[in-house]
DNA sequence: ATGTCGGTCCATGACCGA
């Protein structure tokens, strides 16, 4: 069961790019972020024609997540629990019924968190967009703890908007005061890992030079000025099933690319 | 280099978010 996460930066503007990739790569399950579309606007038929079931959690203009699956989906839920007042569409989960296992998959688009406000002491304040990010990450940890406790094969994958370590940025010094790399963001990410999750890519690959995002600006792709912010976190029962993992870097060099590329895992499920 | 995209809207470019 090949499961990929992909921030496509607008499903309508990226439809041909998405369809070409789906045909070429044939993932069984796709967790999409930043569809930037309401549910009714999602190009459902074009994706269904390639053999996918489609479940969306859309929002007008911004955010929006979706699950595409060649395998049956059950028990779909939308929205990250823990704050009824949160109206941003950043979380969707479902159970994928595989040949040998059922896998709970959670697709997430973690808040960017910029701009950050700093206090007189120079320390970041947990206010505004950065406060929303940190609060969202606490709710993520709460949901993650439930998944760990379930003792089921499960994963949480998506655009985490967190650079976990210096080696995950071509120029870490450029991100020092950015919400993607501030200590509190990385600490919150590590708290989620410490619940018992395996970060799929780093379970297999070490060292610098592995990125999942290159900004459209300043010739970032041409200079390989990237960051690794799209991650797949596996419960122990899912990690035991992992047979392969990768980042589809080449997608960034194609026609009309997203600024992110797919990150994928293969599970023996 | 305030650099590039995608989306929205009382649009024909300004703004917002990333």
Per DSSP bridges, beta strands A154-159 and A230-234 are antiparallel
The per-residue pLDDT for A148 is 99
Looking across all nucleic acid strands, the nucleotide with the smallest C1' to CA distance from residue A213 is B18
Q: Per-residue pLDDT tens, chain A, 269 aa: give them.
A: 999 999 999 999 999 999 999 999 999 999 999 999 999 999 999 999 999 999 999 999 999 999 999 999 999 999 999 999 999 999 999 999 999 999 999 999 999 999 999 999 999 999 999 999 999 999 999 999 999 999 999 999 999 999 999 999 999 999 999 999 999 999 999 999 999 999 999 999 999 999 999 999 999 999 999 999 999 999 999 999 999 999 999 999 999 999 999 999 999 99
* This prediction's pTM: 0.98
pLDDT at position A260? 98
Catalytic residue among A28, A57, A130, A159: A159
Q: Where are the beta strands (DSSP E) in chain A?
A: 2-7, 29-33, 53-57, 65-69, 73-78, 91-97, 102-109, 154-159, 198-199, 213-214, 226-227, 230-234, 242-247, 263-267
A200's CB contacts (< 8 A; 6+ apart) are: A155, A231, A232, A233, A234, A239, A242, A245, A263, A265
Tell me the average pLDDT of chain A.
98
Beta pairing class for A230-234 and A198-199: antiparallel
CATH number for the domain that contains residue A25: 3.60.10.10
Ramachandran quadrant class, A113 (left: phi over 0; alpha: psi -120 to 50; beta: rest): left
Measure A62 CA to B17 C1' (Å): 8
In chain A, the number of structural domains is 1
User: Which of strand B's nucleotides are less than 7 A from any protein C-beta?
Assistant: 1, 3-9, 17-18
What pLDDT sits at residue A136?
98
* Positions at the binding site of A for Mg(2+): 7, 34, 159, 161, 259-260
Cα separation of A220 and A213, whole Å? 9
Compute the distance between CA of residue A73 and CA of residue A94 in angstroms, rounded to an integer. Answer: 6
Residues sharing a CB contact under 8 Å with residue A222, sequence separation 6 or more, in sequence order: none
Pick out the residues of the known binding site of A: 7, 34, 159, 161, 259-260
Question: What's the pLDDT score for residue A125?
Answer: 97
Task: Tell me, yes or no, if A260 is annotated catalytic.
Answer: yes
Q: Is A159 a catalytic residue?
A: yes
How do residues A122-131 score in pLDDT, each as one tens digit? 999 999 999 9
- pLDDT on residue A79: 98
Using one digit for the tens of pLDDT, what is the confidence trace for A62-114?
Answer: 999 999 999 999 999 999 999 999 999 999 999 999 999 999 999 999 999 99
pLDDT at res. A119: 95
Distance A42 CA to B16 C1' (A): 22
- pLDDT at residue A257, rounded to an integer: 98
Domain coverage including residue A118:
2-267
Determine the Cα–Cα distance for residues A269 and A200; give it in Å rounded to an integer.
16
């Amino acid at each position: 069961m090949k499961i990929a996460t992909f921030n496509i930066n607008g499903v309508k503007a990226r439809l041909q790019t998405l369809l070409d990739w789906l045909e070429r790569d044939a993932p069984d399950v796709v967790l999409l972020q930043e569809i930037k579309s309401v549910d009714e606007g999602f190009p459902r038929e074009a994706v269904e024609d390639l053999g996918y079931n489609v479940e969306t959690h859309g929002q007008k203009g911004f955010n929006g997540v979706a699950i595409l699956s060649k395998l049956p989906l059950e028990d779909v839920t939308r929205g990250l629990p823990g704050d009824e007042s949160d109206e941003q569409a950043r979380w969707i989960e479902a159970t994928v019924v595989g040949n040998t296992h059922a896998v709970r998959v959670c697709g997430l688009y973690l808040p960017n968190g910029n701009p950050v406000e700093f206090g007189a002491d120079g320390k970041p304040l947990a206010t505004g967009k950065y406060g929303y990010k940190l609060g969202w990450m606490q709710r993520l940890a709460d949901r993650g703890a439930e998944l760990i406790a379930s003792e089921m094969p499960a994963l949480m994958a998506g655009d985490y908007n967190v650079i976990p370590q210096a080696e995950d940025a071509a120029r870490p010094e450029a991100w020092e005061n950015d919400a993607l790399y501030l200590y509190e963001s990385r600490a919150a990410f590590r708290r989620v890992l410490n619940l018992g999750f395996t970060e799929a890519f780093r379970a297999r690959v070490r060292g610098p030079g592995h990125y999942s995002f290159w900004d459209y600006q300043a010739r970032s792709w041409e200079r390989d000025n990237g960051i690794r912010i799209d991650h797949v976190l596996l419960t122990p029962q899912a990690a035991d099933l992992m047979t392969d993992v990768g980042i589809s870097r080449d997608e960034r060099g194609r026609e009309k690319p997203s600024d992110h590329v797919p990150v994928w895992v293969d599970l023996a499920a």
